[in-house]
Amino acid sequence: MKFLLQTLLIVLVGFVAGALLDWWTLAPIAALVSVFFHYKNSSWNFLSGLLAGMILWLGFALYLNAFNGGLL
């Protein structure tokens, strides 16, 4: 449950920041969010940021594909 909450928080904050700032701001956002979630194995923080980045990238690619006639 904690992993899902962390991933969704990174996706939401990353989406808002991605609309206003550069694309690379997802990495500092994931790092800042992971400070508040403690795991015995810290690789879960990395996987949460990676999954959030993949969700955002896929969502943006599907958005672009829907509005250009499927040329993507």
Is residue 19, in this structure, part of any structural domain at all? Answer: yes
Confidence at residue 56, expressed as pLDDT on a 0 to 100 scale: 94
Domain that holds residue 38: 2-66
Is residue 39, in this structure, part of any structural domain at all? Answer: yes
**pLDDT, mean of residues 5-11:** 95
Count of the separate structural domains present in the chain = 1
CB burial class (10 A; 0-12, 13-18, 19+) of residue 62? Answer: exposed
Write the pLDDT tens digit of every residue in 31-54. Answer: 999 999 888 888 999 999 999 999
Write the pLDDT tens digit of every residue in 21-32. Answer: 988 999 999 999
Is residue 71, in this structure, part of any structural domain at all? Answer: no
Quote the pTM value.
0.85
The count of C-alpha atoms lying within 13 angstroms of the C-alpha of 55, restricted to the half-sphere facing its C-beta, is: 17
Confidence at residue 48, expressed as pLDDT on a 0 to 100 scale: 94
Is residue 72, in this structure, part of any structural domain at all? Answer: no
